A and B are shown apart, each in its own frame.
Chain A
Amino acid sequence: MAADGMFDRRRLLTRAAALIGAIPLAGCQDLSTDPTVLNVLGLAEPVTRRLQRLILSGNGLAPEYTEADISKAFKPNGTTEPDDQEYQDLLGGQFKDWRLQINGLVERPLTLSLEDLRGLPSRTQITRHDCVEGWSCIGKWKGVPLASLLDRAHLKPQARYLVFYCADTLGASLDAAKYYESIGLEDAFHPQTLLAYEMNDAPLTVPHGAPLRLRVERQLGYKMAKYVMQIEAVESFAAVGAGKGGYWEDRGYEWYAGI
């Protein structure tokens, strides 16, 4: 019958399709980590970033919570005890000799002590910290809005990013590197972006980044550099570290950590 002839061809087609479908599975494990494949998959990041920027146009604030919501156990992550000698010396002197440098593409480079920062107008916020691993903790942060410091230092027109250099070295042996991070100007001037020196009404502890850490509330935890030593305004972060804009970014994580 005509119909049966059709079915035979269809059957052949079906089997061929099933066979072709099975071939890529064999190479799946290699494909999953192939650099070219990963670069193609990475194309999703700018799409996500642009769309979220569009949605967040204006200064959409991250939700803030009440004292009752503060997590009893706030998990520290990444470096929790920097063993770098420079940091240990600063810690030994209770950070009296610690200075924050703000430089790079700025009109007026700044050098600030912890006392200087504590003397500036501050903001206090209770926010949720979302780790890239999946957990969340709520904490209360007090610090200087980054925008106010940038207004004082006055960015040059070419400045597009801020790079945060940290005191800690993270990773084992060959992979070890100084932690650093970078953010764009939308986040730098966002009202909830702080250089925090207090957490839950007490000076920042060492596991949480003493004496100073960054808070970027609309992104994931790894953006919020701890043990901050220097902030450099740059046009591009291609020359810093491995060029991806941060310690974790250099290890494959997204620069835009809004998801």
Chain B
Amino acid sequence: MTASAVDHSASAPSAVYRHSLLVRVTHWINVLCLTLLLMSGLQIFNAHSALYWGQASDFAKPILAITQREKDGREFGATEVFGHTFDTTGVLGLSGPPDNRQERAFPAWITLPGYQDLAIGRRWHFFFAWILVINGIVYLVSGFLRGHFRRDLLPSGEQFRHVGGSFVEHLRLRFPKGEQAKHYNVLQKLAYLVVVFVVLPLLIVAGLAMSPGIDAAFPWLTSVFGGRQSARTVHFLAAFTLVLFVAVHVLMVLVSGLWNNMRSMITGWYRIDSTGETHGG
């Protein structure tokens, strides 16, 4: 078996220093920023709860529209996607306690602030957008300088060859042990790379492309997206791609050993099981 960083016995669990301080700090700042940005972003979305494609809004033809409508004398939350309407009462369009329904696209429990206030939503959004960007720059610069991306995130040729097997193992919720557990597996690496180098940059750039000031400075940027309303739609879709990533990410953290994962993202130390069953909480 292998020698580990701390433990000298081959059969007992050992620990590796998995996450550098910088990765841990930027990770948690990211958690804070993305949570607040999502919640304030949904508050902003609620101010005009429809998405379009192109430069301008063709109010008659939204891609997505979340509204409150009436049918047979009954109000319901209507979510319209490409012309197909779904009843989403309770969550989208119409939400809150049944005896006190509120007409709003996203429900109060997920927007910041809880009640409708676009001005306050924008204030939270643009402050934490700055923190996210600064945090991201620190992470990227250090990641390149210290070889974190090359060393830890770039899948090896060997890993690429076994991507199918890794996928099946994931579906069966079986996770690597021993030497293999010291590194991210190939699906993890690919997911992190896509989030770090595709989804987050796309999200930020699409957000910037919505700014009339930025548009005057770099008109090509808004055009790349196909217009301001397209950029708004891309911004929204990228945000929900990230929500999907976080959902899977958190699920994987839970099923592959919550406390071990949490400890490693807080203290840096990750426990490795050489053989046998995993060590959960």
A interface residues (Cβ-Cβ under 8 A, vs B): 1, 3, 6-7, 10-11, 13-14, 17-18, 29, 32-33, 38, 40-45, 47-48, 52, 55-56, 60-63, 65, 69, 71-73, 75, 128, 130-138, 217-220, 248, 251-254, 257-259
Are A11 and B263 closer than 8 Å at their CB atoms? yes
Write out the residue numbers on chain A whose beta carbons fall within 8 Å of the beta carbon of B14: 3
Are A254 and B212 closer than 8 Å at their CB atoms? no
**Interfacial residues of chain B within 231-281, with CB under 8 A of chain A in the complex:** 232, 259, 262-263, 266-267, 269, 271
* B51 CB, nearest partner CB in chain A, Å: 9
Are B122 and A253 closer than 8 Å at their CB atoms? yes
Are A60 and B119 closer than 8 Å at their CB atoms? no
Check A32/B215 contact, CB under 8 A, given A3-B15, A11-B263, A69-B56. Answer: no
Q: Which listed residue, A6, A136, A253, A259, touches B213 by the CB 8 Å rule?
A: A259
Top-3 shortest CB links A-B: A258-B213, A252-B119, A134-B48
Q: A10-B267, A138-B56 are in contact. List 13 more A-B contacts (CB 8 A).
A: A3-B12, A3-B15, A14-B266, A29-B113, A38-B123, A40-B127, A44-B126, A55-B218, A128-B228, A130-B228, A136-B56, A254-B126, A259-B213
Check A17/B266 contact, CB under 8 A, given A32-B112, A45-B126, A258-B213. Answer: yes
Q: Which residue of A lies closest to B114 (CB)?
A: A29
* A252 CB, nearest partner CB in chain B, Å: 3
**Interfacial residues of chain B within 8-24, with CB under 8 A of chain A in the complex:** 12-15
Give Cα A44 to B37, complex, Å: 14
Write out the residue numbers on chain A whose beta carbons fall within 8 Å of the beta carbon of B215: 62-63, 218
For the A-B complex, the count of residue pairs with Cβ-Cβ distances under 8 Å equals 158
Q: Which listed residue, B7, B47, B212, B228, touches A217 by the CB 8 Å rule?
A: B212
Q: Which listed residue, B114, B118, B126, touches A133 by the CB 8 Å rule?
A: B118
Check A71/B47 contact, CB under 8 A, given A32-B112, A254-B122. Answer: no
Give Cα A137 to B269, complex, Å: 54
Write out the residue numbers on chain B whose beta carbons fall within 8 Å of the beta carbon of A138: 55-56
Are A69 and B216 closer than 8 Å at their CB atoms? no
Write out the residue numbers on chain B whose beta carbons fall within 8 Å of the beta carbon of A217: 212, 216
Are B56 and A41 closer than 8 Å at their CB atoms? no
Give Cα A47 to B52, complex, Å: 30
Write out the residue numbers on chain A whose beta carbons fall within 8 Å of the beta carbon of B271: 7
Check A71/B12 contact, CB under 8 A, given A62-B215, A136-B228. Answer: no
Q: Which residue of A lies closest to B43 (CB)?
A: A32
Q: Which listed residue, B117, B216, B263, touches A62 by the CB 8 Å rule?
A: B216
Q: Which listed residue, A6, A7, A11, A32, touches B114 by the CB 8 Å rule?
A: A32
**Can you give 25 contacting A-B residue pairs, CB < 8 Å?**
A3-B13, A7-B15, A13-B267, A18-B262, A29-B113, A32-B124, A38-B123, A44-B123, A52-B214, A55-B217, A62-B215, A63-B216, A63-B222, A128-B55, A130-B210, A133-B118, A134-B44, A134-B47, A135-B52, A135-B59, A136-B56, A218-B216, A253-B118, A258-B212, A259-B211
Write out the residue numbers on chain A whose beta carbons fall within 8 Å of the beta carbon of B112: 32
Write out the residue numbers on chain A whose beta carbons fall within 8 Å of the beta carbon of B145: none
Q: Which residue of A lies closest to B40 (CB)?
A: A32
Write out the residue numbers on chain A whose beta carbons fall within 8 Å of the beta carbon of B229: 135-136
Write out the residue numbers on chain A whose beta carbons fall within 8 Å of the beta carbon of B212: 62, 128, 130, 217-220, 257-259
A interface: dominant SS: loop
B168 interfacial contact with A, CB 8 Å: no
Check A71/B126 contact, CB under 8 A, given A14-B259, A32-B113, A133-B48. Answer: no
* B217 CB, nearest partner CB in chain A, Å: 5
Q: Which listed residue, B123, B219, B228, touches A41 by the CB 8 Å rule?
A: B123
Write out the residue numbers on chain A whose beta carbons fall within 8 Å of the beta carbon of B6: 3, 6
* A232 CB, nearest partner CB in chain B, Å: 25
B120 interfacial contact with A, CB 8 Å: yes
Q: Which residue of A lies closest to B258 (CB)?
A: A14
In this complex, the member of A75, A257, A258 whose beta carbon has the largest number of chain B beta carbons within 10 angstroms is A258
* A49 CB, nearest partner CB in chain B, Å: 9
B142 interfacial contact with A, CB 8 Å: no
Write out the residue numbers on chain B whose beta carbons fall within 8 Å of the beta carbon of A72: 58
Write out the residue numbers on chain A whose beta carbons fall within 8 Å of the beta carbon of B216: 56, 60-63, 217-218
B180 interfacial contact with A, CB 8 Å: no
Are A48 and B47 closer than 8 Å at their CB atoms? no
B184 interfacial contact with A, CB 8 Å: no
Give Cα A47 to B219, complex, Å: 21
Give Cα A71 to B60, complex, Å: 11
* A4 CB, nearest partner CB in chain B, Å: 8
